[in-house]
Amino acid sequence: MSTPKRYNPWLVTIHWLTALLFILNLLAGTFVLKWLPNEAAKITPLASHMTIGILILVLTLVRIFVRLTTPAPAHATTGNALLDKIGILTHYLLYLGALGLGISGLGIASQAGLFQSVFGAAGQLPEDFYVFPARYGHGYLANALILLVLLHIGAALFHQFVRKDGLLSRMGYGKSQ
Ligand code: HEM
């Protein structure tokens, strides 16, 4: 089978859906959730954050499966071997980061009994999430992921508008050849 010009349409759909949900959870977590006092009014935003986070985790697992089982375009090139290696590494780190955020989020939820308090009848949040070790991992990873996402978007724009190699069409719909 020859190398396709684009990614599998399922992968394209999951990519853009995850990108939207991921950026939403990163921004809402960093600028809103983290600053809300752990009172009753936090239950609804926390429930949305956890639901979106779990959805991202499931979509990422499906995405890795689709990526490994369908043909993909060749790695993009910038003309610089080091930058090309950084590009490949960034993609691996984005997958790992998405999995790590989902898993550490589930870690906080299980350590803090959030499935009962947020989705069940208990309704009481712990005073401080930082008594749970997973909360630190989740926070550090989230900050690293903000930088990685910015690098990823910057690189895509560099390809598209400086190198003008039409890179974005690979993550779009259309004929694969
Ligand atoms: C990939 C998906 C996720 C992203 C992008 C994400 C992002 C974030 C961010 C940016 C923060 C604030 C961190 C900080 O600046 O210190 C945060 C906090 C938090 N997240 Fe997530 N998260 C995800 C998944 C989850 C999941 C699956 C759960 C639980 C099931 C979860 C539960 C929490 C909790 C409990 C907090 C602490 C809020 C607080 O300190 O008040 N997250 N998340």
Give the residue, by CA position, lying nearest to ligand 1 atom 11. Answer: 29
Query: Is residue 132 pLDDT above 80, yes or no?
Result: yes
Taking residues 96-110, report their average pLDDT. Answer: 98
Per residue in 27-53, pLDDT (tens digit) is 999 999 999 999 999 999 999 999 999
Can you give the pLDDT at residue 122?
A: 72
Please say whether the beta carbons of 90 and 84 come within 8 A.
no
Give the residue, by CA position, lying nearest to ligand 1 atom 37. Answer: 34
* Percent of the chain scoring above 70 in pLDDT: 99
Letter for the amino acid at 145? Answer: L
Per residue in 151-175, pLDDT (tens digit) is 999 999 999 999 999 999 999 999 8
Q: Report the C-alpha gap between 120 and 78 in whole angstroms.
A: 51
Please say whether the beta carbons of 26 and 145 come within 8 A.
yes
Please say whether the beta carbons of 128 and 38 come within 8 A.
yes
* Percent of the chain scoring above 90 in pLDDT: 92
User: To test ligand 1's pocket by mutation, which of 20, 25, 52 has the most ligand atoms within 8 angstroms of CB?
Assistant: 25
Can you give the pLDDT at residue 175?
A: 86
8: left (phi over 0), alpha (psi -120 to 50) or beta: beta
When pLDDT is cut at 50, 70 and 90, the band that residue 1 belongs to is low
Ligand 1 geometric centre to CA of 138 (Å) = 6
Query: Is residue 121 pLDDT above 90, yes or no?
Result: no
Taking residues 10-36, report their average pLDDT. Answer: 98
User: To test ligand 1's pocket by mutation, which of 17, 95, 101 has the most ligand atoms within 8 angstroms of CB?
Assistant: 101
Query: Is residue 123 pLDDT above 90, yes or no?
Result: no
Distances (CA, A) of 4 to 39, 83, 88, 97: 52, 23, 18, 27
